[in-house]
Amino acid sequence: MLERRVVITGMGVISPLGHAVDEFWRNLLAGKSGVGAITRFDTANFDTKIAAEVKNFNAENYVDKKEARRMDAFTHYALAAAKLAIADARLLESPIDKDAVGVIVGSGIGGMDTFEREARKLVEKGPGRISPFFIPMMIADIAPGHISMQYGFKGPNYATISACASSSHAIGESFRYVQRGDAEVMICGGAEATITPMGVGGFNAMKALSTRNDDPPAASRPFDLDRDGFVMGEGAGILVLESLENAVRREAKIYAEVVGAGFSADAYHITQPAPGGEGAVRAMRLALKNAGMAPEAVQYVNVHGTSTSANDKNETQAIATVFGAHASKLNLSSTKSMIGHLLGASGAVELIATALTCRDNVIHPTINQMTADPDCFLNYTPNQAVEREVNVAISNSFGFGGHNVCLVVKKFV
Active centre residues (catalytic): 164, 304, 341
Cα–Cα distance measured from residue 11 to residue 88, given in angstroms and rounded to the nearest whole number: 6
Alpha carbon 165 to its chain centroid, in Å, reads: 8
The interaxial angle of helices 346-360 and 166-180, nearest 10 deg, is 60
Which residue type occupies 365? P
In 3D space, the residue among 21, 192, 216, 7 whose CA is nearest the CA of residue 109 turns out to be: 192
The values of phi and psi at residue 213, to 5°, are -70, -20
Distance CA 52, CA 340 (A): 6
User: What angle (nearest 5°) sits at the alpha carbon of residue 400, between those of residues 261 and 209?
Assistant: 120
Angle among Cα 300, 306, 309 to the nearest 5 degrees reads 110
Q: What gap in Å lies between CA 167 and CA 102, rounded to an integer?
A: 15
Q: Render 218-271 in DSSP notation, one character per residue.
A: GT--TTBTT---B-BB-EEEEEEEEEHHHHHHHT----EEEEEEEEEE--S-SS
What is the spatial distance between Cα 123 and Cα 306, in angstroms, rounded to a whole number? 35
Q: In angstroms, rounded to a whole number, what is the distance separating the alpha carbons of residues 62 and 71?
A: 12
83 three-class SS: helix
Question: Radius of gyration (Cα) for the chain, nearest Å?
Answer: 20
Rounded Cα distance, 189 and 107, in Å: 9
> Which candidate, 328, 291, 304, 295, places its Cα nearest to that of 403?
304
Q: How far is CA 380 from CA 199, 315, 355, in A?
A: 29, 12, 18
CA distance 32 to 364: 10
